[in-house]
Amino acid sequence: MKSKLEKVLISFILITTIVNLEAAENQYPKTVKLVARSIDNNIEEPKVNKSSIDYHNNSVIKKIIKKDFSISSYPKIQSWNKDMTLIRISNRLYDANTLVESSLTRDYYSNSAAAKGLCSRSSDYFRWSNVEPTIFYVLNSSRNFIKATITDNKINCSNSIESFRDYEVIHMGPYEGNIDYNDKYVIFIAKKRNNEDVYLILFDIEEEKRVWTKKLENNKWIKSKGKWKLSSIDWVSVSPSGHYIVLNESHVNGAEGGMFRYDINFENRVRLQYMRHEKLLSQGGHGDMGYDIDGNEVLVEFIGGLGVYQFSLDNPTEIGKNILSPYGGGHISCRNSERKGWCYITTREKNYRHIFALKIDGSKDETVQEFSQSHMSENIRKVFGSPSPDGKKVIFNSDWEKGDENKVDTFVSFTL
């Protein structure tokens, strides 16, 4: 443990070396092997407009200044826009450098008004463009798919590129679906009126048209507490390349469940499997799709009790590779679209409450780059962490060990 004098000297060096933290040329953390480490209680929670230094990781931690109790998105959803100047949290936009709310949403008094400002839908239906920093996509409450633009410090919601009013319910994912890295394809899951069948719709954003609509066999919509829900599907999404579709479903009506890879026409189905006790199994936990160190497209998933596995989408019959021990489970984000070969992991176990980049190379040497500890209490569940497109920053939620769900804030960490 460092003495007070050592900490003062380190702080002085950091402050004098970097005149402006917001303008600093941040890099990736040092590459190390993941090891157990208890929470460093000497790191204070950042105060408004101030930073805390994680001396172990040589990183800065800053708090986003929010009006409400909303927290950062599920890790599979990108928080930053393409050029990393804006961050979205719920229905509000924040300046990614100052972490103060942007004038684009600042004047909206209520969250519902702010939602309307972001083209009228809950935050689960917002996706930043992977190509243009001033564009985002929203599936609004009228079931219109909108290509919104930010110009002259205003948000334009008038460009509806498709209407899905021929469906009663429509989701992107649901909730966990993504647009490919080229803004070409997105897949929707839908329900028609007076019909409990499940339909998939592939939409071409470039051509602004539906490519195909297909009914899923052995799947139904069910009504629960007044809302239509899927009986067996966790999520469905196009892959980053736009070449594949991955479906995560449960066992239902005797059918074989698990994770399945299809081509973009929803054909050539292959079950993604891993080995356990000399049996081939398929089970989806928290995960995301990205690229391995060689540029091959992969699904990276937490498997209950076993840790993190890497599944090839280019060669789906290949058995999944165990690349990280369990460490209490957690979440995975591969939203670092400009940095192939890594995915970002948030772990929950007592001595492994970390947020780090994990090298995706098929091995289990557990090569990581740690950005921060989560400082999250054991009873708080939404330990979300995810990267910026270039992978140089992470956003995460934490109660800073207060043990109170109502005191969870959102933080950004980056390495000096």
**Would you list the domain boundaries of the chain?**
21-63+273-416
Residues 321-353 as b or e (16 or more Cβ within 10 Å = b)? bbbbebbebbbbbbbbbebbbbbbbbbbeeebb
Instruction: Tell me whether residue 413 is exposed, middle or buried, using C-beta atoms within 10 angstroms of its C-beta: 0 to 12, 13 to 18, 19 or more.
Output: buried
Confidence of residue 279 (pLDDT cuts 50, 70, 90): very high
Distance CA 209, CA 193 (A): 22
Confidence of residue 406 (pLDDT cuts 50, 70, 90): confident
The answer, yes or no, to whether residue 321 has pLDDT greater than 60, is yes
How far apart, in Å, are the Cα atoms of 384 and each of 18, 311, 349? 29, 22, 14
pLDDT value for 202: 98
Average model confidence (pLDDT) for the chain?
90
Contact by Cβ (8 Å): 21, 11 = no
Confidence of residue 16 (pLDDT cuts 50, 70, 90): very low
Which residue has tokens 């040589």?
58
> For residue 329, is it left (φ>0), alpha (ψ between -120 and 50) or beta?
left
Min mean pLDDT across 9-13, 289-293, 342-346 is at 9-13
Instruction: Tell me whether residue 41 is exposed, middle or buried, using C-beta atoms within 10 angstroms of its C-beta: 0 to 12, 13 to 18, 19 or more.
Output: exposed
Confidence of residue 379 (pLDDT cuts 50, 70, 90): confident
Helix%, strand%, coil% for the chain, nearest 5: 5, 40, 50
pLDDT value for 362: 97
pLDDT value for 285: 84
Percent of the chain residues past pLDDT 70, beyond the cut: 92
Element (H, E) at 41: none
Distance CA 342, CA 324 (A): 13
Confidence of residue 383 (pLDDT cuts 50, 70, 90): confident
User: How far does Cα 81 stand from its chain's mean position?
Assistant: 13
